């Protein structure tokens, strides 16, 4: 340990005698490490953002969409027919063991008015379980209850965007708004969720009890007064997703009297899978950026090798002298290797600092999330040391194997 410290001191002195050259050599490593740190930070920032968005959907969520019927040989897409009903939702809740919570939803849209302000927004009718599944919390006021659903009470929950547009800074709770000219009392305001993974504003919404929505706002299908557009299902855990999906599909096929050869008249979508793919692509992106940046690190390493070779040639007589007075092969090898590693590590440290500040600047000006993990810093540090060893070994070996007589005579 002491010996290594001593050689580091000797190496530092050798590097200091050629300040400009050492600085320029380090520049390669500095830029390389800074680029890697910066790119990985930007990449993992993007990944973290996607994860955040996925979390905003709620965890372990499966969506069952109605639709896809075949009429006279023409297949219609999801939602083309309202094949799901509130009863389906109730059946899923009571019969599927892998399912924790179920919420039927109907969707629509309409103009909302409060005083002089009005706003066009999405309207969703559902049950209180929906709020649990989507992990909504209340910013103010309180959620509606299953009594409200049973009694078709005219209460509404506003998303943040709607509340802001209608009420500005005043508290909407308890106020009366008109949705498609029907007066509703605002029960509460939902906490902001931000963008969905597909880029929609999840706060531009009004949530009503499903019964009220059907009767007063969206209207119910004449054929099936119980029809719902979609059913949100929450599995009991991440490992139960597959099972829940299977149970729901079987139950619905049975309830809809589908024969074995008939297609499903509904679609089951596992959101986790959809968004996991997105997350993976973000991660691949960040690895790709890192890989591109490491090319400059490689170039920096070659710069170190180049300068070490020059240094060995310049100091041939010194090496000859050291060999003559008793330096062993290992001693000379260590001396030059430590010099190369010191060069690389100093460059690495400066690069880490520069990369960290760089990603901070990026996140500040470009309003991107960046995330610098200690792992990335450690990796950059270890990697620059490895580069020093890898590219320093050849010149150091060349120095250590010099013939002392020739080296002493070298002009």
Partner 1 sequence: MNHIIEIENLVKTYRVGDVTVQALGGVSLTIERGDFVAIMGPSGSGKSTLMNIFGCLDKPSLGTYRLDGVSVGNLGRDELAEIRNRKIGFVFQQFNLLARTSALENVELPLLYTDTAARERQERAMQALASVGLADRADHHPNQLSGGQQQRVAIARALVNRPQMLLADEPTGALDSHTSIEIMAIFQQLNREQGISTIVVTHEPDIAAYANRNIQFRDGRIVVDERIARPRQALEELAAVGGEVPQEEPVEAV
Binding mask 271-310 for partner 1 (x = CB under 8 A): ----------------------------------------
The single residue among 170, 176, 330, 386 that binds partner 1, judged by CB under 8 A, is: 330
In the three-class reduction of DSSP (H, G, I as helix; E, B as strand; rest coil), residue 156 is classed as strand
326 near partner 1 (CB under 8 A) = yes
Say how many residues touch partner 1, by CB under 8 A. 20
Q: In which element (H, E) is residue 278 found?
A: helix 271-314
Using CB under 8 A, pick the residue from 244, 327, 333, 343 that binds partner 1: 327
Residues forming beta bridges with residue 125, ordered by sequence position: 106, 208
One symbol per residue from 331 to 350: x for binding partner 1 (CB under 8 A), - otherwise; what is it? x-------------------
323 binds partner 1 (CB under 8 A): yes
105 Cβ contact list (under 8 Å, min separation 6)? 124, 125, 126, 130, 210, 228, 229, 230, 231, 232
Footprint on residues 382-411 left by partner 1 (CB under 8 A): 404-405, 408
Reading phi first (left if > 0) and then psi (alpha if -120 to 50, else beta), residue 128 is in alpha
Using the rule CB under 8 A, which residue among 243, 318, 353, 389 binds partner 1? Answer: 318
How many degrees, rounded to 5, is the angle at CA 346 between CA 340 and CA 348?
Answer: 100
Per-residue interface string for the shown chain with partner 1, residues 124-143, x marking contact by CB under 8 A: --------------------
- 17 touching partner 1, by CB under 8 A: yes
Q: Which of 221, 222, 207, 95 is nearest to 159 (CA)?
A: 207
Binds partner 1 (CB under 8 A): choice among 321, 354, 379, 385: 321
The residue among 170 and 329 lying less far from partner 1, judged by its C-beta, is: 329
Which of 61, 88, 94 lies closest to 245 in space, CA to CA? 61
| Closer residue to partner 1 in complex, CB, 17/222 | 17
Q: Is 6 a residue that touches partner 1 (CB under 8 A)? A: yes
Residue found under tokens 């040391």 = 385
Q: How far apart are the first and last CA of the chain?
A: 35
**Rounded to whole angstroms, how far apart are CA atoms 272 and 185?**
35
Q: Min. distance of Cβ 324 from partner 1 in angstroms?
A: 5
Position of tokens 């599927």? 96
Tell which one of 146, 198, 200, 329 touches partner 1 (CB under 8 A). 329
What is the number of residues in the chain?
Answer: 411
Q: Which residues of this protein are in contact with partner 1, per CB under 8 A? A: 6, 13, 17, 317-318, 320-331, 404-405, 408
């Amino acid at each position: 340990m002491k010996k290594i410290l001593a050689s580091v001191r000797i190496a530092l002195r050798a590097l200091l005698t050629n300040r400009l050259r050492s600085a320029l050599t380090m520049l390669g490593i500095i830029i390389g490490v800074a680029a890697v740190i910066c790119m990985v930070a930007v990449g993992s920032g993007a990944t973290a953002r996607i994860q955040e968005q996925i979390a905003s959907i709620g965890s372990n969520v499966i969506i069952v969409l109605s639709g896809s019927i075949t009429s006279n040989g023409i297949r219609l897409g999801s939602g083309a027919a309202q094949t799901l009903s509130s009863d389906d939702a109730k059946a899923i809740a009571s019969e599927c063991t892998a399912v924790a919570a179920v919420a039927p939803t109907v969707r629509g849209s309409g103009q909302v008015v409060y005083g002089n302000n009005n706003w066009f927004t999405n309207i969703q009718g559902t049950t209180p379980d929906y709020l649990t599944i989507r992990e909504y919390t209340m910013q103010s006021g309180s959620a509606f209850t299953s009594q409200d659903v049973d009694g078709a009470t005219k209460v509404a929950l506003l998303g943040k965007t709607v509340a802001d547009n209608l009420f500005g800074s005043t508290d909407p709770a308890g106020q009366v708004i008109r949705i498609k000219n029907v007066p509703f009392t605002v029960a509460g305001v939902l906490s902001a969720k931000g963008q969905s993974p597909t880029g929609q504003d999840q706060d531009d919404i009004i949530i009503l009890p499903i019964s009220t929505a059907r009767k007063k706002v969206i209207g119910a299908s004449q054929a099936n007064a119980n029809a719902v557009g979609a059913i949100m299902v929450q599995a009991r855990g991440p490992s139960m997703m597959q099972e829940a999906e299977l149970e729901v599909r079987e139950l619905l096929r049975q309830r809809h009297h589908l024969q074995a050869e008939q297609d499903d008249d509904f679609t089951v979508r596992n959101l986790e899978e959809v968004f996991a793919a997105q997350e993976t692509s973000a991660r691949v992106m960040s690895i790709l950026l890192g890989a591109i940046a490491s090319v400059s690190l490689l170039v920096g390493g070659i710069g170190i090798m180049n300068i070490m070779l020059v240094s060995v040639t310049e100091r041939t007589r010194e090496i000859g002298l050291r060999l003559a007075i008793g330096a062993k092969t290992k001693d000379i090898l260590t001396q030059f290797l430590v010099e190369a590693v010191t060069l690389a590590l100093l460059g690495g440290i400066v690069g880490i600092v520069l990369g960290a500040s760089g990603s901070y600047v990026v996140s500040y000006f470009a309003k991107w999330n960046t995330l610098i993990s200690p792992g990335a810093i450690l990796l950059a540090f270890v990697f620059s040391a490895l580069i020093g060893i890898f590219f320093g070994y050849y010149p150091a070996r060349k120095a250590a194997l010099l013939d002392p007589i020739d080296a002493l005579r070298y002009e």
